[in-house]
Amino acid sequence: MNRAVRAVIRYGYVPFMLIGVNGAGVALAAAGAAKLWLAGLLLLAVGCSFSAERLLPYEDAWNAPLRGDGRRDAVHAFVNESLAVVSVAAVPLLAAHVAVVDLWPRSWPFAVQVLAAVLAADLGITLVHYASHKVGVLWRFHAVHHSVKRFYGLNGLMKHPLHQMVETTAGVAPLLLIGLPVQVASALALAVAVQLLLQHSNVDYRVGVARYVLAVNEGHRFHHLKWAGVGDVNFGLFTLVWDHLLGTFSYDPARRFTSELLGMAAKPDYPTAYLPQLAEPFRASGACHAGPPRPGSADRWEGVVADPAP
């Protein structure tokens, strides 16, 4: 491929998604456009994600379906994004019955309102994500997401719908209590979907020193390391600010990831089909992902102890 094209993707993909796609969403939401724009922009983002993954992949093997996971992940994405759209549509009704006091800063520029919503939601979602690695019942539902064996865009939407509801509630409920407008909620929903695409993308993009602040794929791969305790890092959805404060940030630029390092070492036979994955949390007691690495761990790198593969 032409070197210039590779450079454009490597350094322009993230700005295009974060600023271009989200910026279009903010503009349309501010103008009160019909909600169909959400689906249209999301499809554009998915298409750009898939195209970039094939033009400049981090790992070539991750572009090929693994045990039929492409179809399964598409179902996860459709179900979970449908729930997100329904949630946004329900904001006016929820706000009417849930809002305690109207403290929302409606006088702020609309883009600043969306940014404030993103940062507030980031805190709530990050804390639930952190708790999901510490509390057994939450981990059983979150484990669906950690069963992935390759990193690509749709992995971000590969979640148990009940766990997504818990995360969404933690991120949005505090905003509803102070009068979150539906237009801001719409832009926030798009921003979450775009961020999940970026965070799990199989694109070899670069963000420079911003990788220490933004929750992009370079850092999030460490979160999907398969050993108990080792993957309990980099919980943030939009930013890694809370990880720095929690002491859970980890990054090593020399680390290279393959499918053999991803998943759950304690559950190598975790169900791979959609319906069995939905049922698994109700029948498995499943230990938390959290906890120290097993005795005999080796191969240290910055902030993480890598347990040798079993």
State pLDDT tens for residues 88-120: 777 766 766 676 678 899 999 999 999 999 999
From CA 122, how far away is CA 169, in angstroms rounded?
12
Tell whether the model's pLDDT for residue 256 goes beyond 70.
Answer: yes
Is 236 contained in some domain?
yes
Distance of CA 230 to the CA centre of its chain: 19
Q: What is the mean pLDDT of residues 227-253?
A: 95
In-domain check, residue 298: yes
| For the chain, counts of helices (H) and of strands (E) | 12, 2
Residue 84: inside a domain: yes
Classify residue 310: in a domain, yes or no.
no
> What is the chain's mean pLDDT, rounded?
88
pLDDT at 100: 66
Q: Give the total number of structural domains in the chain.
A: 1
The secondary element (H helix, E strand) that includes residue 138 is helix 136-146
Q: 32 — alpha (psi -120 to 50), left (phi > 0) or beta? A: left
Is residue 102 within 8 Å of 177, Cβ to Cβ?
Answer: no
| Structure-token pair, residue 168 | 């969404």
Host domain of residue 218: 3-305
300: pLDDT strictly greater than 70: no
3-state SS record for 28-67:
HHHCCCCCHHHHHHHHHHHHHHHHHHHHCECCHHHHCCCC
Residue 272 lies in a domain: yes
Query: Any idea which of 61-75, 128-142, 151-165, 284-298 has the lowest mean pLDDT?
Result: 284-298
The encoded tokens of residue 142 equal: 């979150």
Average pLDDT over residues 202-229: 96
Rounded average pLDDT over 222-228? 94
Question: What pLDDT score does 291 carry?
Answer: 41
pLDDT in tens, 14-70: 999 999 999 999 999 999 888 788 789 989 999 999 999 999 999 999 999 887 898
This prediction's pTM: 0.88
CB atoms within 10 A of CB 4: 8
